[in-house]
Amino acid sequence: MEFDTIAAISTPMGEGAIAIVRLSGDQALQIADRLFKGPGGKRLSEVPSHTIHYGNIMEEITGRAVEEVMVSVMKGPRTFTREDVVEINCHGGIVSVNKVLQLALDAGARLAEPGEFTKRAFLNGRIDLSQAEGVMDLIRAKTDKAMNVALGQMEGRLSKLVRSLRQEILETLAHVEVNIDYPEYDDVEEMTHHMLVEKASKVKNELEKLLQTAEQGKILREGLSTVIIGRPNVGKSSLLNSLVHEAKAIVTDIPGTTRDVIEEYVSVRGVPLRLVDTAGIRETEDIVERIGVERSRQVLKEADLILLVLNSSEELSKEDEHLFEAVKDMDVIVIANKTDLPQKLEMSKVEMLAAGNPIVATSLKEEEGIDKLEEAIQSLFFSGSIQADDATFVSNSRHIALIRQAKKAIDDALNGIEMDIPIDMVQIDMTRAWEILGEIIGDSVHESLIDQLFSQFCLGK
């Protein structure tokens, strides 16, 4: 499969020591030769693959040197895209890197679309679709655990398991076909039913194991939307600062200081949290604070975890009770803050309102209780521990939905066998499971879905 030659900046925009302009395609070396001038007049199209060369990028029209560069030459098929790839390492200034890119485009390259390098790796058979999605997850990983899950997917851990299950289904269908075509033996139907049940049950068990990792995997991939709520001046911003280990939010003794929603990513024992510090939810005449309160109510509806902060040095108020009511049936951790002050909070009433949710006592001013809070967060979602790094996680929402569909197709096949439905009808369900699993790795997927997936990548990847 041949494509035109594409180019893009593959490093973040802004000032830095090094920036990379990447070219990929059958004309990548020829385009680079038009721009590059090295010692002794060497031509990049003639140098050995996987070598790096010092020289200058020249303007074709004026013959003027515009950048001093190191150019990496990687000839296909031993590259990420399986095409010829050239990476021009230049100085990391905005003007210089854009100038090099523009010269590459003027010399015949086309500006790459978002994710087009990875898309070519998929279309050229270098990686499958789930591995390509692993590349995106690796770029977006917020914690070490999320990075490990993405690396496992990039290495093909999920792909290998899916291919193995598809092969199991395929072999089963082949055996069924043989038994249908050669029905000379009286017990052939019984043998066929027994084999179908055995093989389908085996595939179902593997799919169930994958789905058991789905909740953890999805959390590691996307993070937990965690909202900190409470009356004004109970310590919400102090809690945010303690978890982030930075003074991100303004902390004062004046109620209503936080006027808007403040967001920050943080890793709590390997669990990625998207922390949202909200304006204190209360009735107020201040128009700016009222807008903040309304935004707080909105993010509350979208939260995965609620950290409800109370002031242990004050009695439980009607506002506190309303907050408990607002987060009813949600995952909540109650934080009784300001334990360094004389306690007035009636804990028996708090326990009743918490309805079995964890309660953690803290003194954020004295930096006490944060460890217990982190332990409570991990225990709530990971039963106290995160699975081993070598586990095959399924973390992508698309994959989870497809695995559920495949499991339903297998369940339909098993129910059909139990109800003595004709074998050819059972085969339809097994074939459907095989096709659905193929969508995970891209063996049977619509072109529009491929375009949509790769459009989410950053430019230059």
pLDDT beyond 50 at 259: no
Q: What is the mean pLDDT of residues 30-57?
A: 93
Check whether 289 has a pLDDT greater than 50: no
List the one residue out of 165, 177, 240 whose CA is nearest residue 204.
165
Which tops the pLDDT comparison, 28 or 137? 28
Strand partners, 368: 363
Q: What is the pLDDT of residues 363-421, one digit of tens each?
A: 988 888 888 988 888 887 776 555 545 556 777 788 889 999 999 999 999 999 888 88
- pLDDT value of residue 220: 75
pLDDT at 153 over 80: no
The answer to whether 3 and 120 are in contact (CB under 8 A) is yes
Same domain, 45 and 89: yes
Q: Are residues 160 and 116 in the same domain?
A: no
Say how far apart CA 138 and CA 153 lie, in whole Å. Answer: 9
- Tell me the average pLDDT across 30-44: 91
Residues 265-278 have pLDDT tens digits of: 777 777 778 887 66
When pLDDT is cut at 50, 70 and 90, the band that residue 258 belongs to is very low
Distance, in Å, from the CA atom of 59 to the CA atom of 64, rounded to the nearest integer, reads: 5
Q: In this structure, what is the dihedral angle of CA atoms 22, 24, 29, 35, given to the nearest 10 degrees? A: -40
- As a whole number, mean pLDDT of residues 107-125 equals 91
Q: Are residues 297 and 422 in the same domain?
A: no
User: Domain check: are 137 and 248 in the same one?
Assistant: no
Q: Is omega for the bond preceding 422 within 30 degrees of 0, making it cis? A: no
Contacts 24+ apart (CB under 8 A), 256-259: 256/232, 256/280, 256/282, 256/284, 256/286, 256/289, 257/232, 257/233, 258/232, 258/292, 259/288, 259/289, 259/291, 259/292
Residue 280: domain span: 225-382
Contact partners, residue 275, CB within 8 Å, separation at least 6: 226, 228, 240, 243, 244, 263, 264, 265, 266
| Statement: residue 81 has pLDDT above 90 | yes
| Tokens (6 digits) for 393 | 């996680």
* Confidence grade of residue 281 (pLDDT, cut at 50, 70, 90): very low
Q: How far apart are CA 252 and CA 237, in angstroms?
A: 9
In terms of domains, do 240 and 377 share one?
A: yes
The number of folded domains in the chain is 3
Residues 100 and 160 in one domain: no
The answer on 374 and 236 residing in a single domain is yes
Same domain, 110 and 147: no
- Element housing 220 (H / E): helix 214-222
Structure tokens that stand for 211 in this block: 């789905």
**Residue 95, in any domain of the structure:** yes
Which alpha helices (H) appear in 107-187, and where do they start and end?
116-123, 129-140, 144-154, 157-181
Q: Using CA atoms, how far apart are residues 315 and 305, in angstroms rounded to an integer?
A: 25
Domain boundary among 382, 413, 428: 382
Structure confidence at residue 299 (pLDDT): 66
- How far apart CA 149 and CA 147 sit, in angstroms, is 5
Task: CATH number of the domain at 280, please.
Answer: 3.40.50.300
Output 193 or 255, whichever has higher pLDDT.
193
The answer to whether position 456 is within a domain reads no
Mark whether 153 and 14 lie in a shared domain: no
Same structural domain for residues 169 and 146?
yes
Q: Looking at the structure, do residues 263 and 345 belong to the same domain, yes or no?
A: yes
- pLDDT value of position 165: 93
Tell me: pLDDT of 322 over 50: yes
- The whole-number pLDDT of residue 424 equals 78
Percent of the chain with pLDDT over 70: 81
Q: How confident is the model at residue 231 (pLDDT cuts 50, 70, 90)?
A: confident
